[in-house]
Amino acid sequence: MKKKVPHDKIYKIVNKLSSGLSWILIISTFISVLLIIINNFRSTINPNISTTLSKVLAFFAVTYFIIEIIQNHIYHRAELQRKNDFVDNSLSTKLADANSQGYFTNEEINNGIYKLGVNCFENSFFTKSITSKMLTKQLTYTIVIWLVIWLVILSAPNGIVVEVLLLTLPLSVLNETNKLYRLNRNVEFVFLNFKKIFSSTKKLKREFLIIDNVISYEKSLSYSSIPLDSCLFSKMNDELSIEWNEMKKNHKIK
């Protein structure tokens, strides 16, 4: 069956905005390094260059903040479509305008709360694994951005307005890092709960625990507004799919 994912289009927009934010970080870091060099040789370099670059850096900081707000708005729309498709596939409802084909991997399981739990178990496994990789990259960004921006502020006689704007970027990056960390921790907790549910919980008690855990997973995604890195997803997908199939066998999911 040919793979069809209706909500993939809107996620591509989110990923493009994420890519734009990453480029702003890279360019801002490059400009910051230039500013540090220029400020250390200000006696031989036109001071107007330093002022201009500081204003450009402040502009990028504000732009980052604005794009981040737009990305969060579109992300929530994408998540609503994904959630509806996820519920439709699990419970055979008709919430989504169009449903995925060949996207979910648990089609051998009958529709119901059990399948809802299995699908979310798989989602939490993938999300936990990918966000763990993303967190390492994000922590590096955060440390580098904070260091270079503070060096720029300390080494250049900028106006108070420019300095405040310069702080917008590292604060935004720090907030994103914090949200990513919390998402990773919360989803890992959900994942571990699913392991318990499908390995040691009596069948009569499963449905209540599954519903509670699914709500926790969806709540974590909604709060964070952090899209998964599409490049990492593509790179890790085959390996994680193999691990997931082994996990299903170990937990006797069928």
Task: Give per-residue pLDDT as tens, 45-75.
Answer: 676 787 788 788 888 888 988 998 999 999 9
246, part of any domain: yes
- What proportion of the chain, given as a percentage, has pLDDT over 70? 91
Full domain range(s) for residue 232: 8-250
Structurally, the chain folds into a number of domains equal to 1
Of the candidates 171, 172, 177, the one whose C-alpha atom is nearest the C-alpha of residue 138 is 177
Does some domain include residue 3?
A: no
- Asked, for residue 31, whether it belongs to a domain, the answer is yes
CB 42 within 8 A of CB 51: no
- What is the rounded distance in angstroms from the CA atom of residue 161 to the CA atom of residue 167? 10
Instruction: Give the range among 67-76, 143-152, 201-210 with minimum mean pLDDT.
Output: 143-152
Residues 6+ apart with CB under 8 A from 184: 128, 131, 132, 134, 135
Distance from C-alpha of 209 to C-alpha of 192, rounded to nearest angstrom: 12
In a domain, 23, yes or no: yes
Residue 31's pLDDT band, with cuts at 50, 70 and 90, is confident
For residue 1, tell me if it sits in a domain: no
**Residue 2 domain-assigned?**
no
Instruction: Evaluate whether residue 152 is within a structural domain.
Output: yes
Nearest in space to 148 (alpha carbons), one of 246, 52, 57: 57
62 within some domain: yes
Instruction: Please report where in the chains the tokens 């969806």 appear, as a residue.
Output: 218
211: closest CA among 82, 84, 91?
A: 91
